[in-house]
Each structure stands twice: as structure tokens, then as C-alpha cells.
Homo-oligomer: A and B are copies of this chain.
Amino acid sequence: MANHLSIFALGGLNEIGKNMYVIEYGEDMIIIDCGNKFPDESLLGIDLIIPDISYLIENKEKVKALIVTHGHEDHIGGIPFLLKQLRIPVYATRFTLGLIELKLKEHRILRESQLIEINSESHFSVGAIGVQFFKVTHSIPDCLGIVFQTPEGNIVHTGDFKFDLTPVNNQHSEIHKMASIGSEGVLLLLSESTNVERPGWTPTEQRVGEHVDAVFMKADRKIIISTFASNVSRVQQVVHAAYKTNRKLALLGRSMVNVVRIAMERGYLTVPDGMLIDRDEIHDFPPEKVVILCTGSQGEPMAALARLSTGNFRGVEVLPGDTIIFAAGPIPGNEKAVTTIVDNLYALGAKVIYGSGSTSGMHVSGHGYQEDLKFMLTIMKPKYFIPIHGEYRMLHHHRLLAETVGVERENTFILKNGDIVDIEEGMARQTRNIPIGDSYVDHGDVGIGEFVLRDRKKLSEDGMLMIIVTLSKSDERMLSEPETISRGFIDRDFSGIRKEVNKITIETVNELLLASRTSRNTMKKNIKKAVREYIGAKHKKKPMIVPIIIEI
């Protein structure tokens, strides 16, 4: 095939999470982001989901660079696993690199990794592709959108963004630069779709600051406030409120301590001298002079807030009259975990401020609403459009939104992970795809598959029955009673069932032994079948049945 341009995703389409997009031209591939996703309860024992990168490994020599738009987990969480397999340079901004370095250190691969700091003024080339950037506003500092200048035309990737004309700590979008990119002409826009179902404009982050201030003014005991550690703008506003009310600030939770340190060291967060105190010093100050900033706003059971709510955080207690603020709305799926903590905090006598941002005022989204998204489409006025970073209905709604601001319906591509859009002579088509799936991480081990998960599911539902039969190798007879053992199956007295199962097993085995020599597999199959029928009929359960034959 002659040189042409291809774009595809290895993650981020039909899902929220594990974002990873690839631009390919001739012998060069550039990766944008490499995130992770957290599993739902159906993926038993799985810790993380990361993109399936087998296609990249097959094309190892083509992959030239990873560019990272910002430092959220769904954009950087897969990087250690990627770098263990592909030695490529990683381009990211100063703050984003700080978070990536933390990860690589944990995986003990920081030293051999090639990290390149960029900013919105940086530009470089990868083969025939020029790369430039523009700043966008989001809920973490130092975010970029990317312009790829290809022989076919310009491709723009928005990163995650909102428009906020009064952001905290100067995290402005470069609107003029975006306008000039749009004026130059954009062949293809990839734009994020998270909040496409919400009408209007995203509120400004400063609104949260106003609510935080108001609560700080009223609180007459200790304040505990929880938010995403990476939301440095929100942390800055907590610092402001603490300053105004003359409170000392303590940090709880490993990621809060780490991220605040990175943000301060690298100049993204300003904390007055003497405000930060150690957790051991909390009791040295009267409660009305202390605020604790902690992790756990999503109800994570091991995070600081959950442990505080159950009295399991050594050295720090929630006391009657304390004010607890959830400065982050629950992400869909986390509602129950959050309200359990709220219940516990009320039981300790605390005042609790919680709920979605629209009810508590303590959260605004970092993802643009419909008008933000329309503004991006309008300012970039792309010929082609690929909505990214969203579940199917979001991509679908984003297409409809794009139509309202002039993108032709047939020029929008609703893709699945692995679907390839090819652009040749300025014309885009989607006709081919790479077959890809998910990669599961189980205790740092990549490569748990469907097979193991199916077994875990079965085990989790009705437990298991093991039936051990010992046969003599020589004269083909059973050497002892079968041994039947269960786990996770039934609580009550098991001896009746064991007796019955053993009886069925003996009958089945003896029948087969009387007949001509039967294969061990047939024997196992028959035991399984007979026992399954009995357990199903008598106890209406379907445990995993594992017959084991030992020959001595």
C-alpha cells in the first residue's frame, strides 16, 4: 500500500477508560495516551484493565512515540505495562511527567524509561508528521490538545477539556491558538464525549471555591475535606479557604501526599509557609484551627476517608461536630460506596456535605458540556470527525451535536476500538479493523483470560465439589471410598450429601470398570454428570464439580 494515514483506538471507544489512540503514517506510529480502567464486579479478582497492545507489539519497529495529553489514570495508568514491552520515548508536560514518574518508580522501570518534557510551545517531528500543541482546561493541571500536521492534512486531538474563562491557577485554554489552527484547516478532529448528554456550558471551577469558603466560615470544629488528589485547582481552593480561616492543613492518604508534593515542587500549587502540618501534629492545634485534606471521595474502601468513617485511621478521629465535605461527586457506579461512608460519618455525629455537584455545590465537572463541545467543533471546523472518550450513546449524541454545527453526518465516524479510519488523498473511509480485546491485570500479572474468569464466576456462585477416586493401576478397582470435599457450596451439615455423592460415584465407577477399559476422561465425565444431576434435582444448585482420579 502507498503511504497513507490511518487512525484507530486501542481503548476509549464504547467505554469510559483506558484511552489509547494511534496515528499511523507510512512506517511511523504515534500513540496518544495509554490509560487503564477499573473493572466492574463481574471481573472477579481483576485489579485493572489495560489496552490490548498486541498489534503494537507485532509492529514494534513502527511505534515511535507516546504522547500523553494529561495525567489522569485513564490516560496514563497503562504506561508501565506498555513500556515493559515497547521501548519508546514518552512526551508529556511537567506535571503529567511527575505523575508518570511516580508510576514508573513503583514498577521499578523509571531509570530505563525515556521521558521528554514538553509544553504547549513544543514542536517536533515523527517521520513525516509534525506535532504541535495547545493548552486546554480540565480538572488536572497542564493539559494539552495535539495537532498532527500530516501530508494528508491536520489532525487535532482535543485531550480532555472544558472551557472555563475563570480557571484556578491560570489553567487557561489557548483559545487564540485554537482559532488559528481552525483557520488553517482541520482535516480530522478527535474530540472527547464524556459530558455530551448534559446541556449548557460546564460551570467554572471557582464555583466550588465559593461553596468551600462558605462552609469553612461556618465550621466550628475540625474540617475534613476529600477530593481527587490530582485536582490541584480544587486543592488550591481548599488552601485558600484554610488561609482565610486561619487553619492548618494536614494531608491524609498516600496519593494526596504524593500529588501535592509533586504539584508544589513543580510550581502548580502554592501553599503558604507554615500552613502544612504533619498528621502527628493535628492534636497540637484546636479543632477549629485544623483542616484535613484526604483521599477517598469515591468511597474507595482502603482510602483515608473510608478508614476515618469506621474509626480505623490511626491517630485521627472523626468527632461530633466535625464537618466532612465530599468535594467531588460520585462517579456513576460509586454511589453506594459513598453513601455507606456518609452513613458511618453521621453515626459518628459529624456534619456531612455530600451529593452530586449540582446538589452540594462541591463539585463541577472537568469535561465540557454540550456548548463546550459545540464550541470546540465550531472553532476547529473539521472536515471529518471522530467522537472519542465515551460510551456508545455518547459518541452517537456527539455526532448529532456535530451535525448541528455543520459537520456532515457521513463525515462523522462512530468507531469501535480497533476500527481503522484510512485517509488517502483527503478522503476518509472506515473499512478494516484490528481484532482487539482487553488485557486484565491480576496482582500485577497481565494475561488473565476469559477461561480463568469463567471458572471464578462459577466458583463464586455455588462453590465447588471435589470427588477423589483412587484406583489401582493394575487390577482396576477402587482402593478406598471416594473422598468428597466442598468449598463455598452449602453451610448446613454436609455429611448427608457426601454420603449420597459417594454412593453415586461408586456406582458410576463400578459400572464403567465392569465394562471394558474406559478412559479416565470418560470416567470423570460420567461422575460429573451423575453428581450434577443429583445435586441439581435434590438441592437446586450448580456447584463446579471436579472429579479427580488417582491411580496407584
Min CB gap A283→B, angstroms: 28
Query: Is A457's CB within 8 Å of the partner chain B?
Result: yes
Chain B residues whose C-beta falls within 8 Å of the C-beta of A57 in the assembled complex:
none
Let me know if A460 and B45 touch, CB within 8 A: yes
The listed residue (B342, B460, B550) touching A483 by CB distance below 8 A is B550
CB contacts under 8 Å to B, within A406-457, are 442-445, 447-449, 451-453, 455-457
CB contacts under 8 Å to B, within A197-211, are 197
What is the number of residues of chain A that contact chain B, defined by CB distance less than 8 Å?
Answer: 64
Let me know if B540 and A445 touch, CB within 8 A: yes
Let me know if B447 and A391 touch, CB within 8 A: no
Binds B, one of A88-96, A332-340, A362-370: A332-340
> When chains A and B are docked, how far (Å) is the Cα of A14 from the Cα of B340?
10
Query: Is A108's CB within 8 Å of the partner chain B?
Result: no
The listed residue (B332, B451, B485) touching A491 by CB distance below 8 A is B451
**Chain B, residue nearest A354 (CB):** B393
**Chain B, residue nearest A332 (CB):** B335
**Chain B, residue nearest A472 (CB):** B552
Query: Is A392's CB within 8 Å of the partner chain B?
Result: yes
Asked if A457 meets B459 with Cβ closer than 8 Å, knowing A332-B335, A470-B552, the reply is: no
Query: Is A488's CB within 8 Å of the partner chain B?
Result: yes
> When chains A and B are docked, how far (Å) is the Cα of A442 from the Cα of B491?
11
A311-351: CB near B (< 8 Å → 1, else 0) gives: 00000000000000000000011011001001110110000
Chain B residues whose C-beta falls within 8 Å of the C-beta of A443 in the assembled complex:
462, 539-541
* Chain A interface helix/strand/loop/mixed: mixed
The listed residue (B445, B455, B541) touching A488 by CB distance below 8 A is B455
Query: Is A257's CB within 8 Å of the partner chain B?
Result: no
A450-493: CB near B (< 8 Å → 1, else 0) gives: 01110111111111101010100000000110010101111110
The listed residue (B14, B45, B342, B352) touching A461 by CB distance below 8 A is B45
Min CB gap A138→B, angstroms: 23
> When chains A and B are docked, how far (Å) is the Cα of A445 from the Cα of B492?
11
If A343-B391, A455-B487 are given as contacts, then 7 extra A-B residue pairs at C-beta distance below 8 Å, sorted by A number, are A44-B460, A333-B336, A339-B393, A445-B541, A448-B491, A452-B490, A480-B551
Can you name 22 A-B residue pairings with CB atoms under 8 Å? A44-B488, A332-B336, A335-B335, A339-B393, A342-B393, A343-B393, A346-B392, A346-B393, A443-B462, A443-B541, A447-B492, A451-B491, A453-B488, A456-B463, A459-B459, A459-B487, A464-B464, A466-B548, A468-B550, A479-B552, A480-B551, A550-B550
